Amino acid sequence: MPLVKRNIEPRHLSRGALPEGIGSELECVTNNTLSAIIRQLSSLSKHAEDVFGELFNEANTFYLRANSLQDRVDRLAVKVTQLDSSVEEGQLQPFSPVLIVWIEQYGYNRLRAVRVQQIRVLV
């Protein structure tokens, strides 16, 4: 069952008791119905303004997030162009014996919880 977020009032346009002593009942009902329609249109206009305001706020938030992401992409693009892939940062050969000893002593386990405990043993 949907939840009602906005109600348009009045709901029943021509319901209501006629005042006593009215000469032209048809004219009275017509005037009351037309005034209720005007109130409904006013309520609808208010709700439309709220909907478009919320839509504007969401679009503005989306725009700000997209600009933030674009700035991050631009900064990363600058960093990537500054990187030189031909420069060798270091050798991994000196660390391979440490890895072999590590695996022989503690076993190779990919679980994070176990890995954290094994690192604590070294420290």
The answer to whether the pTM exceeds 0.85 is: no
Q: Taking a C-beta distance cutoff of 8 angstroms, is the pair 31, 19 a contact?
A: no
Give the model confidence (pLDDT) of 46-78 as tens digits.
999 999 999 999 999 999 999 999 999 999 999
Give the DSSP letter of residue 92.
S
Domain ranges within the chain, ordered by starting residue: 92-123
Averaged pLDDT, 1-6: 81
62/50 Cα distance (integer angstroms): 18
The per-residue pLDDT for 22 is: 82
- Provide the mean pLDDT of the chain: 83
In the structure encoding, which two tokens stand for residue 8, read together?
């348009």
Residue 92 has pLDDT above 80, yes or no: no
